[in-house]
Amino acid sequence: MLLRCGAKSLDLSSPKIMGILNITPDSFSDGGVLYRNGQVCLDVVLKRAEAMLADGADILDVGGESTRPGAATVSEQEELDRVVPVVEALVRKLGALVSVDTSTASVIRESALKGAGMINDVRALSRDGALIAAASTALPVCLMHMQGRPQTMQNAPHYDDLIADVLNFLKLKTEICLAAGIGRERILIDPGFGFGKTLAHNLALLARLSELGILGSPILVGLSRKSLLGQLLDRSVDERLPGSLALALAAVERGASIIRVHDVAATKDVVSVYNAIKNSAK
């Protein structure tokens, strides 16, 4: 499948790697690395992005609002100030395919004007104006499942039927997008690991990830350095690379098309080995 991303395309016939660029002071893993003292460190962002591209990232995901539990609220103008100049620089200076991790209509529109190629929304276009803004860009959109909202999503999440609930949510959001004029070929889905889910939920969801294929949309997953690894392995955030790689491999084996990660080079090796083994069997 060839995903049209504005001026660029992404060949999803094999798994692709999305490198994470958090332009925030408070993201759970790398907050404050690219945004310090109230401003974006653009030179640092460009160096990090250039290294990710050299390591094999196919797409860079830029986010200006942390969605970890308890994260501070970010104003619309602050998010615009953080994200839009970075998108412009990544496209103009590096020629990168850029995804924007946002739920805000104005950020969607302005990022698209600066050359962004994808919208990645943890709130599945539920904020005011986001659906119309996304439809107007003609860009692909990733719809993520989340139970509750970031500030409270981990307060005892419960499901009567985990897989059915996730499938029904994503099916409904897909239908809303289709009705708004967003073609099915522009829609990706993300089951939302860590967003309103316990350790048991996350493991069960990954084990049955292939069942989401019934929706007919490419699957994007974000499992890198997540707290489920802290619970499972008793590892701090900076000790979770081996666990993250195991999760990435499990995801691609179960049909994930895009793996969203912090550690691009190591994940690229995993995906390359997976592809070599898979192709040898043809």
The set of catalytic residues is 226, 260
The DSSP-derived string for 77-107 is HHHHHHHHHHHHHHHHHH---EEEE---HHH
- Name the phi and psi angles at 164, rounded to 5: -65, -40
Strand partners, 141: 119, 187
Structure tokens at 193: 């690991």
Strand partners, 231: none
How many residues appear in the chain?
282
Structure tokens at 26: 């408070």
Strand blocks (E) in the chain: 2-5, 8-11, 16-22, 35-36, 39-40, 59-63, 98-101, 118-121, 141-144, 187-190, 220-222, 258-261
